[in-house]
Structure 1
Amino acid sequence: MPSLAVLGMHRSYTSLAARWLASCGIDMGGSTLGVGIGNEHGHYEDVEFLTFHAKVLAAHTLPSNGMADWGARSFDPAAYRAMKIEGELAEEGRALLERKQKSNACFGWKEPRTCLFLPFYREALDPFALILFRPFEEVVSSLLERERRVHAETGHRGWRKAYYWATRSRSEAWFEQLRSDYLEAWIYYNQCLLDHIEASEPGRYMVHDLASMVANDGAILERLNQWGFDCEMQGLGALKGTTKTRELTGLSNDELGRAQHITQRFSELIGR
Structure 2
Amino acid sequence: MSNNVLIITGMHRSGTSLLTQWLYRCGLHMGNQFLEAGIGNTQGHYEDVDFYNYHQRVLSEHDLNKDGLVTTPLQSLSEAQQQSLRRLIREKAASQVQWGWKDPRTCLFLPFYREVLPDARYLVILRDYKSVVSSLIQRRYAESVHKYERKGGLPRLIWKHCKAPYRKEKLLRKHSEHNLKVWISYNEAILQHLLQLPPSAYLVVDHAFLANCNRKVFDHLSATWNFRLDYYNFNTLYKKSLISERLDITSYIKDPSLLQKAADIQCRLQALAL
TM-score by length of 1: 0.87
Distance 1:100 1:14 in 2: 20
Q: Does 1:255 align with 2:252?
A: no
- Structure 2 match to 1:90: 82
- Structure 2 match to 1:231: 229
Q: By how many angstroms is 1:155 displaced? A: 5.1
String of CA shifts for 1:187-246, please: whole Å, max 9, x gaps.
000001101110111101000112433222222122212313101022322211114551
Q: By how many angstroms is 1:125 displaced? A: 0.9
Q: In 2, are the aligned partners of 1:217 and 1:235 still within 8 Å (CA)?
A: no
Q: By how many angstroms is 1:170 displaced? A: 10
Q: By how many angstroms is 1:258 displaced? A: 1.0
Which residue of 132, 147, 153 corresponds with 1:139? 132
Q: By how many angstroms is 1:249 displaced? A: 3.0
- Structure 1 match to 2:189: 192
Distance 1:170 1:133 in 2: 28
Structure 1: gaps of 5 or more residues: 68-74
Which residue of 121, 127, 147 corresponds with 1:128? 121
Distance 1:110 1:190 in 2: 16
Structure 2: gaps of 5 or more residues: none
Distance 1:40 1:173 in 2: 25
- Structure 2 match to 1:210: 207
Q: In 1, are the aligned partners of 2:6 and 2:99 still within 8 Å (CA)?
A: yes
Q: In 2, are the aligned partners of 1:60 and 1:83 still within 8 Å (CA)?
A: no
Q: By how many angstroms is 1:153 displaced? A: 2.3
Go from structure 1 to structure 2 and tell me whether the alpha carbon gap of 1:248 and 1:133 turns closer, same or farther (over 3 Å shift): same
Which residue of 252, 267, 271 corresponds with 2:270? 267
Q: In 1, are the aligned partners of 2:74 and 2:109 still within 8 Å (CA)?
A: no
Map 1:99-118 onto structure 2 (within 5 A): 99-118=91-110
SS at 1:44 equivalent: coil
Distance 1:131 1:86 in 2: 27
Q: Does 1:219 align with 2:216?
A: yes
Go from structure 1 to structure 2 and tell me whether the alpha carbon gap of 1:81 and 1:15 turns closer, same or farther (over 3 Å shift): closer
Q: Would you identify which runs of 4 or more consecutive aligned residues in structure 1 move more than 3 Å? A: 155-159, 168-175
SS at 2:204 equivalent: strand
Distance 2:167 2:20 in 1: 37
Go from structure 1 to structure 2 and tell me whether the alpha carbon gap of 1:58 and 1:244 turns closer, same or farther (over 3 Å shift): closer
Distance 2:121 2:112 in 1: 14
Between 1:202-211 and 1:111-120, the stretch displaced more is: 202-211
String of CA shifts for 1:20-48, please: whole Å, max 9, x gaps.
00000000111011211111110101111
Go from structure 1 to structure 2 and tell me whether the alpha carbon gap of 1:183 and 1:21 turns closer, same or farther (over 3 Å shift): same
Aligned residue pair count: 259
Distance 2:244 2:117 in 1: 37
Q: By how many angstroms is 1:171 displaced? A: 10
Structural RMSD (CA): 2.4
Between 1:109-118 and 1:241-250, the stretch displaced more is: 241-250
Amino acid at match of 1:2: N
- Structure 2 match to 1:44: 46
